[in-house]
Chains A and B, each alone.
Chain A
Amino acid sequence: MTRVAVIRFPGSNCEAETLAAVKRAGGEGVLVDYRDTVLDRVDAAILPGGFAYGDYLRSGAIARFAPVMQAVKELADRGGAVIGVCNGFQVLCEAHMLPGALQRNAQQRFASRPVDVRIERADTVCTADYRPGEVIRIPVAHGEGRYVADPETLAVLESEHRVMLRYVAVDGSDQAYNPNGSMNDIAGICNAAGNVLGFMPHPERLADSALGSDAGQRFFTSLIRSVQTAVAA
């Protein structure tokens, strides 16, 4: 069975929903403590949302030095999937595993609401079960989600199609579509190899039809299926 590590830092708070979504998708979720130094027989790792180390100094700046991060880097180096959701995305940027940074929302307030995002890449480990260009509505909950990068980095991300998720305006929506002022409406990106992914929206929070929508669940079915396919190949 596909084993997915969910890393718990002091201050993480989305690990339970993430583990549940992995389990519903047919994977085995393993809660891993930030002090652990090995990721044993793990196919993928998810850095969940929350406020690791209280967001002290900058979001993700201290978590980046947690003992487990060396093992996370090694997993990514050998091609394993590493996924950062919200605070996890901030950690991956601080760890230089993804380019750019996440800054305080332009609207000067915490954004906790549904957003419409377009699946720009339907060939990543987290989006293979979506159609290219499909627009889904899932929640965001962050105060610092405004993606910024220097113009050269942005140009590379766009030309290499590494923007995997983008906030989009949907006709008739009553919400301002970009919840944080992100450059190029970026909601999520991946690294050049495509195995390290980071995004601000929370698919794990809307991944069970009992909640009225399971729009986010395919992030997890994609992941389990992608890893199984890679192992079989």
Chain B
Amino acid sequence: MSIRVHVRIVPRSGLLDPQGQAIEHALSALGFSGVGDVRVGKAIELSIDADTPEAAKSSAREMCQRLLANPVTEDFLIETDGT
């Protein structure tokens, strides 16, 4: 079956995220107070043919390690529909 997989990629904690900082400043300028630690990553959605959600996740994990995320600078989270 085809399983919808959601991959979230975020800059590794501790690394400077200039985009996140710029957004934080912009939010503050718009009057949103009390907003902190803004981090900008990416969301990648894909459909994977697999027998189980676990198999789809395992496949997505390998994709993250080899292409979707850079292990030097990014962490990733994988979720599937209905899990």
Residues of A bordering B, CB below 8 Å: 57-58, 61, 65, 93-94, 100-101, 103-108, 146, 148-150, 181
List 26 A-B pairs, Cβ < 8 Å: A57-B67, A57-B68, A61-B67, A61-B70, A65-B67, A93-B72, A94-B70, A100-B72, A101-B72, A101-B73, A103-B15, A103-B16, A103-B73, A104-B18, A105-B18, A106-B16, A106-B18, A108-B18, A108-B19, A108-B22, A148-B15, A148-B72, A148-B73, A149-B72, A150-B72, A181-B16
Chain B minimum-CB-distance residue to A59: B70
In the complex, what's the smallest C-beta–C-beta distance from A90 to chain B, in angstroms?
A: 11
Q: How far is the CB of A27 from chain B (nearest CB, A)?
A: 33
Tell me, in angstroms, the Cα distance from A108 to B72 when the chains sit together: 20
B binding-site residues for A, Cβ under 8 Å:
15-16, 18-19, 21-22, 67-68, 70, 72-73
Chief secondary structure at chain B's binding surface: helix
- A-B contacts counted at CB < 8 A amount to 32
Min CB distance, A113 to chain B, in Å?
18
Give CA–CA (A58, B22) in the complex, Å. Answer: 19
B16: which A residues are within 8 A, CB to CB? 103, 106, 146, 181
In the complex, A58 Cα to B44 Cα: how many Å?
13
CA–CA, A104 to B17, complex, Å? 8
- With a cutoff of 8 Å between Cβ atoms, the chain A residues found around residue B70 in the complex are 58, 61, 94, 101
Contacts of B19 in A (CB 8 A): 104, 108
Instruction: List the B residue with the shortest CB-CB distance to A181.
Output: B16
Closest CB of chain A to B24's CB: distance in Å? 11
**Shortest CB–CB separation between residue A103 and chain B, in angstroms?**
6
Distance from B18 Cβ to chain A, minimum over Cβ atoms (Å): 4
In the complex, the chain A residue whose C-beta lies closest to that of B11 is A103
- What A residues does B72 contact at CB under 8 A? 93, 100-101, 148-150
Closest beta carbon of chain A to B57's beta carbon, Å: 20
Interface contacts beyond A103-B15, A105-B18: sample of 6 additional A-B pairs, CB < 8 Å, sorted by A: A65-B67, A101-B70, A107-B18, A108-B18, A108-B22, A146-B16
A181 to B21, CA, bound (A): 14
Q: Tell me the bound Cα distance from A148 to B72 in angstroms.
A: 8
CA distance A104 to B19 in the complex (A): 8
Contacts of B67 in A (CB 8 A): 57, 61, 65
